[in-house]
Amino acid sequence: MVETVKVPPDPSRMIEGLRDTGYEFPTAIADIIDNSIAAKATLVEVNVSMDYKGNIEVTICDNGCGMDWETLVAGMQYGSPQRPDPSSLGKFGLGMKTASTAFCRVLSVVTRSSGRAPLVKASWDLNHVVQVHDWELLKGTPTSAERELLERVSQGGPGTLVVWQQVDRLLKSYYAPGGTFAQRALEKQIGELKEHLAMVYQRFLDPTDNRAGSIEIRVNAERIAPWDPFCEDLSELVADEEMEVEIDGKGRVPFRVRAFVLPRKEEFVDPERATRARVGNQMQGVYVYREQRLIHGPDWLGMFSKEPHGSLLRVEFSFDHRLDEAFHIDIKKSKILLNEDLYNWLDTTFLPAPRRAADERYRKGQKRQIEDLAKSAHDASNRSILAAEPKLDLPNVSVVDSRKGDVLVENKQGQVHMKLDVTGALRPGEVFVQPVDGLPEGILWRPAIIGTHRGVQINTAQPYYHKVYVPNLRYGVTVQGIDSLLWALGMAELSTVNEATKRHFAEMRYEVSKLLRELVEALPEPNLEAPAEQEAAGESK
């Protein structure tokens, strides 16, 4: 017979340690709302307030089925009994307790199972547990304010109220705890909570969405509107796959993956709708839904990083509770770990085509933006070279046949016939540095005759222009510096070229351009909005 020894956890250390499970405020509130949805609530009211002393109180009240005293005690147990419905959003029996005490030291629940039943109240007071060194749950009497709030939300029927008091981990310490800075910080937290709930419970908040039950959520009296990350009525559905996974004891269990390419910002007819769509780097990625509730994302599940050319791509991954074990759902229901086969399928089979489609749409719009920016970005360079040109010792270049690009160059080496592009100015004064959409063999620059001037053409389609020029197009000094270098290289070629070396100069331009293409490959994709945002920030200082 094996000898056994019971080793119960230390109450003080355990209840304090469980405060550090990594919850963020919006995730914690969502974990409690999961319980409301599991209780078939149709209304949830969240209130977050601060008094003049900086004391914060958080309440979450619903009109769900509620509990009697025995059920409440079982629900307040750490690792409470498993729910009879396996599809319930409440999963591990830990969420409400750990989510709440991650931010407060006193958690109270006031509830009733019917309109005729008495209100019952139970509280976990961390200070009390530490003091008595035991798992003692406090039985209390609801305050008049608690009674009034539960009555208003439940409308005389069943319901549950969760109360956080002694909230000590929501905000950092402030010199004036209830002052302006603390109030602003709290408002920021509330704003982030509203955005989170709108995204996580989108399918529940939208009464026209029949995939989930309907619920109304209010935060500080504001009704939360659903936020559809996929903008399904406007976006292009570029991939849609229904797959199955073999689960022991459950047979073949389905899940669905869909990929949407959103319109570019300028393609939205309504600017307000474009703003609400939140097109950009942060919102791209895979959105993972369990039982119609968003539990993870948006991110690329470690497959690749977020870059601007993927900013229009959003992917839906939906499954039900039968795949919980296969996908390793964490205690906060906020992360998912895919098995190797599914990870590889997403990475190598499903996502490549949607990524190409999103990249193509992004680059199409970006190309237009770059062309608009490039039109005036080189004006200062042209003006500065124009001012300096009379003082420079430059070769004579005369056009022999403009149609064929035949020119005669006279320099210190003598005379040499060359093939140069002979063109006119595309913009007034653009006669020294001319941006063009593409040059032969992908070269970055080449000398040219622009109007009657010795100039250089710069390839806006070349990766170096994309990665180095584009992020700086609004910054004249940087652009002038690079333009001056390329123009000087072009003039140095004309000043030293001869019949024996002209082929070598052409090869040099090709090799340098090739090397630059490879060197900039690791540079980040440019964010065309960042300079404007930075300028705005600078002006506001």
Q: Is the pTM of this model over 0.75?
A: no
Q: Where are the alpha helices (DSSP H) in 53-179?
A: 69-76, 95-101, 126-132, 144-154
Query: Considering the chain, what percentage of its residues have pLDDT values greater than 90?
Result: 66
* Spatial contact of 22 and 104, defined as CB atoms under 8 Å apart: no
pLDDT tens for 65-109 read: 999 999 999 999 987 665 555 555 554 456 789 999 999 999 999
45 bridge partner residues: 61, 218
Query: What's the pLDDT band for 266 if we cut at 50, 70, 90?
Result: confident
Mean pLDDT of the chain: 89
Strand, helix or coil for residue 524? coil
Sign of the alpha-carbon dihedral angle for 195, 228, 240, 319: positive
More confident residue, 437 or 44: 44
Maximum distance among all Cα pairs of the chain, rounded to whole angstroms: 108
Average pLDDT, stretch 397-414?
Answer: 92
Write the CB contacts of 306 (distance below 8 Å, at least 6 apart in sequence): 281, 282, 284, 285, 299, 300
pLDDT tens for 285-310 read: 999 999 999 999 899 988 988 887 88
Looking at residue 334, what is its pLDDT? 55
Write the CB contacts of 317 (distance below 8 Å, at least 6 apart in sequence): 255, 256, 257, 286, 287, 288, 289
